[in-house]
Amino acid sequence: MTPLEQTLLYLTSIVILLGTLTVFVVQFVRGRRRGGPGDGGPGGDGRGDRGDR
């Protein structure tokens, strides 16, 4: 494996890991802000409307 290939593999791995971490953080923050289960998520009507506007 050439140094260029190693560098590309390394950079690709970092991008994938950072993207995955970002998705987990965003989902965690959105889940906490919405109040957790019972807010129109799975099993609900899917609209997420709690009527508190």
| 37 has pLDDT over 80 | no
What is the pLDDT, as a whole number, of residue 32? Answer: 87
**If you search the block for the tokens 């709690």, which residue do you land on?**
50
Q: What amino acid is encoded at 53 in this protein? A: R
What is the pLDDT, as a whole number, of residue 42? Answer: 59
The shares of helix, strand and coil residues in the chain, as percent rounded to the nearest 5, are 60, 0, 40
Rounded distance between C-alpha atoms, residue 33 and residue 28, angstroms: 9
